Amino acid sequence: MTANNLLKKYAALAPQKAQDLNYLLLEITELSGSDFYANFDLPLDSKVEARFIECFELFVQKHLPIQQILGYAYFYGYKLKVNQNCLIPRKETEELVGLVLEEYDQVYATRSQVEVLDLGCGSGAIAIALKLEEPRLMVEASDISPEALAIAKENAQNLNADINFVLSNWFSNITKAYDIIVCNPPYIPNAEKLDPIVAHDPALALFGGTKGLDCYEIVLKSVSKHLKNGGLLAFEHAYNQKDNLIKLIQQYLTNIEINSYQDFQGRDRMILVRLKEVENE
């Protein structure tokens, strides 16, 4: 069967998943996009066809994320290993990385040393992207989950990203201060019903308490001890939590500048908080 016919057959069974199935088959063939479409009407290898059918059942019937089926995800152009022990990196989080890199260019690029912490790093996506995009950054990454941290370390090693990893429940094992702290914490309210696909991510990386703000509050209670003078705190948050999060930030931090940013879909999703520099007396 050709790729064209195979996709038509299975897209008819799950029309809402047609684009995902196209991506799935492309990845299984291990072809570039141009080669995949150049061979779109040529017979597929029987092993590729069998693998696609197997993956279709896992994806459509058992609701496993494609990234967990394949065992990897792409983030900021980098291929990362993922499994059930870490959150699958999302497109929106790439925008958070982009904002932090812009801040680096505008504020920190002339400094001889800039230290960054990815707090709650999961697969290591944020830390790795920052380090590879700006090698001059000194990057550390922490997570409470030993299993997630093992994946992050493997990803960093595979991509030659020089990152120091720390097993830590938020700031519990963090002993220093940083110029930049980036954090994409769990922010789904505990009672919220999850899409079946999302439910395969680890609960530890998803749920953020009754209102979805518990992890932000834990971070904000201690973050001033771990940010240098003039430091930057970068958060990702749920699309409907901008105002509540800003109030929480203002409750715990003073002498700050807060800027909110929207994602590519026009939703409020990122907040950058800068501690205003205080001159030493």
Give me the number of domains the chain comprises: 2
Average pLDDT score over residue span 229-254: 96
Question: Percent of the chain, pLDDT > 90?
Answer: 89
Please write the tens of the pLDDT for every residue from 210-236: 999 999 999 999 999 999 999 999 999
Residue 148 is assigned to a structural domain of this protein: yes
- Binned at pLDDT 50, 70 and 90, residue 280 comes out as low
What pLDDT is attached to residue 67?
A: 96
pLDDT in tens, 121-141: 999 999 999 999 999 999 999
18 with 140, same domain?
no
Total length of the chain: 281
Tell me the average pLDDT across 160-165.
98
Burial 63-80 (b: 16+ CB within 10 A, else e): ebbbbbbeebbebbebeb
Would you say 189 and 211 are in contact if contact means Cβ atoms under 8 Å apart? yes
Q: Are residues 46 and 183 in the same domain?
A: no
CB of 153 within 8 A of CB of 143? no
Under DSSP, the state recorded for 136 is: T
Average pLDDT, integer, range 147-170: 98
Same domain? For 93 and 43 the reply is no
Query: 17-26, 117-126, 135-144, 270-279: which has the minimum mean pLDDT?
Result: 270-279
For residues 56 and 93, state if they share a domain: no
7 with 132, same domain? no
Q: Is 163's pLDDT higher than 70? A: yes
Under the banding of pLDDT at 50, 70 and 90, the label for residue 279 is low
Looking at the structure, do residues 50 and 130 belong to the same domain, yes or no?
no
Mean confidence (pLDDT) of the chain: 94
User: Based on the domain organization, do 95 and 160 belong to the same domain?
Assistant: yes
Question: Which whole number is the average pLDDT over 115-123?
Answer: 97
Which phi and psi angles does 62 have, rounded to 5°?
-105, 0
Residue 146 maps to a domain: yes
The whole-number pLDDT of residue 199 equals 79
The whole-model pTM stands at 0.94
At residue 201 the predicted structure's pLDDT band, cuts being 50, 70 and 90, is: confident
State the pLDDT at residue 281.
43
Which domain range does residue 36 map to?
Answer: 3-62
Q: Please report, for the domain that includes residue 243, its CATH number.
A: 3.40.50.150
Q: Would you place residue 261 in the very low, low, confident or very high pLDDT band (cuts 50, 70, 90)?
A: very high
The secondary structure of 24-66 as a DSSP string is: HHHHHHT--HHHHHHTTTSBPPHHHHHHHHHHHIIIIIS---H
Last residue of a domain, which of 46, 62, 78?
Answer: 62
Q: Looking at the structure, tell me whether residues 131 and 17 fall in a common domain.
A: no
